[in-house]
A and B are shown apart, each in its own frame.
Chain A
Amino acid sequence: MRIDDFEQLRSEDLSTLPSAERRKFLKLGLAVTGIYLGGSVLSLTSVQNAYGSGGVVPEVGKYPYNPHYTMVIREKLCIDCERCKDACVKTNHVPAYGFRTTILEKRRSLSGDKFETTFMPVLCNHCNRPPCVRVCPTTATWKDEKTGIVVMNPARCIGCKTCMTACPYNARYFKEEERAVDKCDFCLLSRLSKGETTTACADACPADVRVFGDIADPASRVFKLVHSPETMVWVLRPETGAIPNIFYINS
């Protein structure tokens, strides 16, 4: 179409819109706003069914797995001796460039040139709604039906690394030797399946920072730590909605 022809065309801007049409549009906008406003002011949810948010700790008895393996990290006690990392590397043959668990450091400046340091052990959170599992195109990673552990089948992994991007905890790395993504499996292959009851990292910790166990069992230590009064329990990045299973406490 030539530029001269364009100029002959009827304008489609607002000036040619009939006012009835404009009013109709305005009414539609008001109606939509009204519905939303009415909905939030005059909530249709009855008070009897409204519960306060229970926080990050699941309700007693509401664990999707049995045993439901979790780890409680008593953060303030961590001294970054990294024996857990060494034990993990040895047990699960982790190469030098990757990690299944690591220790992060927070430094808060105090008066003068002093710092208060907190070490934060991190690992796969074995989420109840794991983003890594959802994005895997080949179902090479999934939640173990019995224990809820997020496991990998390296043979099925095509190395697209989408799971690494999806993980909110940076808990996955690409293992060149296997041409597959590798991650913490709570030592399911290396220890739990061979009758051991705890992970290599928890076993190696000299300060009793990492407590591993079955939170579905009310007699377990993890259950008692998480469900004790006046204990502040938090998880990392709760806003992702992944429902992680690594709980942090300070007491």
Chain B
Amino acid sequence: MKKILLLLVVGGCLFSGAVLFASGEVKEQEAYDEEAYGPEAPIVWVKPLEAVVFEHKVHTMDAGLDCGSCHDDLFEMENGVAEEKDDFTMETLYKGGYCGACHDGSTAFASNTRCTACHIGVRGHARLRGDSGSAEKSH
């Protein structure tokens, strides 16, 4: 009798744990739909300097913007068009161009603040590519 009771208790614990674990997983996995939210892989610009990151997920799925908010007025759909232009600079952003259309301090944080939120640098770029070794140069 005692053994059965013990087995029940242990089994109960394990079962509830499994249920909790499963529910946690479901919560996290809200599917990312590339059709609705744009490419999942981060966009990295290396011009005019290395490197600036842009994530569709943060802007569409998390912040609730739709494709038309930026395309095709501020940015072409095609990747890499903006960085080939001469006016793709911070100066243009401050005047409301490109990211500066929203990153003006009222809609989103101003482009002349929180530099490293987007500027991930040479190190950040290397980390994104997965070669952390090159970022940790030693002598």
- What is A's interface to B at a CB cutoff of 8 Å? 76-83, 97-99, 102-103, 105, 116-119, 173-174, 206-207
Contacts and interface: CB of A to CB of B under 8 A. Distances in A.
Interface string B119-136: 111111000000000000
Contacts of A119: 116, 121, 123
A116 B48 CA distance: 23
Contact of A206 (B49, B120, B123): B49
Contacts of B49: 79, 81, 83, 206
A98 B138 CA distance: 8
B104 interface: no
A103 B137 CA distance: 11
The 8 A-B residue pairs with the shortest CB-CB distance in the complex, in nearest-first order: A80-B121, A79-B119, A81-B49, A117-B116, A82-B122, A173-B139, A98-B139, A79-B115
B50 interface: yes
Given A76-B115, A79-B115, A81-B50, A117 B120 contact: yes
A103 B122 CA distance: 10
Interface residues of B, number: 14
Contacts of A80: 116, 119-124
A105 B123 CA distance: 8
Interface of B: 48-51, 115-116, 119-124, 137, 139
13 contacts: A77-B115, A78-B115, A80-B119, A80-B122, A81-B121, A82-B50, A99-B137, A105-B123, A117-B120, A117-B121, A118-B116, A174-B139, A206-B49
Nearest to B52: A79
A171 to B, nearest CB: 11
Contacts of A117: 116, 120-121, 124
A102 B50 CA distance: 15
Contacts of A77: 115
A174 B124 CA distance: 28
Nearest to A98: B139
